[in-house]
Chain A
Amino acid sequence: MKKVFTSAAAAITDINDGATLLLGGFGLCGIPENCIAALVNKRPVNLTCISNNAGVDDFGIGLMLQQKQVKKMIASYVGENAEFERQLLSGELEVELIPQGTLATRCMAAGYGMPAIFTPAGVGTEVAIGKEVRVFNNKAYLLEYAFDADFALVKAWKGDTDGNLVFRQTARNFNPLMAMAGKITIAEVEELLPAGSLNPDHIHTPGIYVHRIFQGVNYQKRIEQRTVNKPDE
């Protein structure tokens, strides 16, 4: 078993034009910064990106949008990004907006080997158009399919050489779900440890779901909305 890669560039070397990617994170919290930087460098195009958000103009998926690498974005919320808006309005970028819980559960389904799930989110709205509706116990649900993605790019706090992952605080978000959902899952970690260093009881994502892992570098961990209390308040 050799899962450890020396760099982001080495780990993403076979992500090519037209690939479908799952990218972890919520806003800029817990995003795979190193993988994104490597993709910006390698420049594959016509990518389909599935992620809760689309980054901001100069960070996260926004960096790939600047280079027009993204053909289609599947997300639940895409504000805070002027270039995204420009490409959407000009028709260069295809966007599919889906409810956040639906996004999470479609990842979960893929990782659990289930082809589809039923959710009430979007019943009676335009999200339901063209979808199968089933009624259980007098409540209507939409059939939503598991994602089928080539690669999942996730970011964890700690990981070990067997691919086991531990996340930190709300940087967990979509990361463990997407890690389970990728055909090939690439994990970048703030701290890469020898197998056996992590307490087996504390592992969030077992290494079976992680195909490649590398020690990330130069994390910016940007804050989108810095909100604080001042001492005199």
Chain B
Amino acid sequence: MLNKNQIAQRLAQELKDGYYVNLGIGIPTLVANYIPAGIKVVLQSENGLLGMGPFPMDGDEDADLINAGKQTITTVPGSAFFDSAMSFGMIRAGKVDLTILGAMEVSELGDIANWKIPGKMVKGMGGAMDLVASAKNIMVAMMHTNPKGESKLLPACTLPLTGVNCVKKVVTELAVLDIVNGSFKLLERAPGVSVDEIKAKTAGKLIVEGDIPEMLF
């Protein structure tokens, strides 16, 4: 079973040289710590920055330089600033190669729910609906089950949707799965996790073909 950092580490293997990438809040943010050596990836922050760098050194923080999670950050050589319309313009136009975000539920059709729980305080969707409606390649980093032990990989989402037919890949503490033709296709198991456990914790349609390898790190 993977911890959150290992989920991020596995997702980082999906990055390719030259990718422009938007990372959501939570586990996706950790992906930036595992960018493979020798490739250049440009991180987009939807509040108006391409080329997001690490947190500043203590004392160097600047109130005018934050990421979409409102954290103080830095630029890198080659960074560019722009306004919010251009930011979502480049997202809408498909210029961002990969978006990784968290989710409360994902369906076997690639629908995602991650912004609202009825009966609880609704904080808003922020940029998530724009990202999932437009990005070419959307991956989800999340736990396989909710705190009650119920599967988050479902035949259909029960929570209000953020977007439909958009998620391509899901990485959880148990497995890597692609979403193809209305099913979760099991690609890899976390070290020490059995296919039976993944089957038991996946409520949506699951395709298991042949031997499923363990993830490599």
Contacts and interface: CB of A to CB of B under 8 A. Distances in A.
B91 interface: yes
Interface string B89-100: 101100000000
B46 interface: yes
A221 B66 contact: no
Contacts of B73: 227
Given A77-B126, A175-B83, A85 B163 contact: no
Interface in A59-97: 75-79, 85, 88-89, 97
Interface in A79-127: 79, 85, 88-89, 97, 99-105, 107-108, 119-127
Contact of A170 (B48, B130, B163): B48
Nearest to A124: B164
Given A100-B84, A172-B82, A225 B127 contact: no
A79 B54 CA distance: 24
Chain B interface, DSSP helix/strand/loop, else mixed: loop
Contact of B84 (A26, A119, A222, A229): A26
A109 B75 CA distance: 30
A77 B47 contact: no
Interface in B97-145: 111, 121-130, 133-134
* Most A Cβ at <10 Å: residue of B55, B61, B70, B128: B70
A213 interface: no
26 contacts: A26-B66, A26-B70, A27-B47, A29-B70, A78-B124, A79-B124, A100-B88, A100-B125, A101-B88, A102-B129, A104-B83, A123-B133, A125-B129, A126-B161, A169-B65, A169-B81, A170-B49, A172-B81, A172-B83, A177-B83, A177-B84, A177-B85, A221-B64, A223-B63, A225-B70, A227-B73
Given A75-B124, A120-B133, 11 more contacts: A27-B70, A52-B84, A88-B121, A100-B130, A101-B46, A104-B87, A125-B160, A125-B162, A167-B81, A176-B83, A225-B69
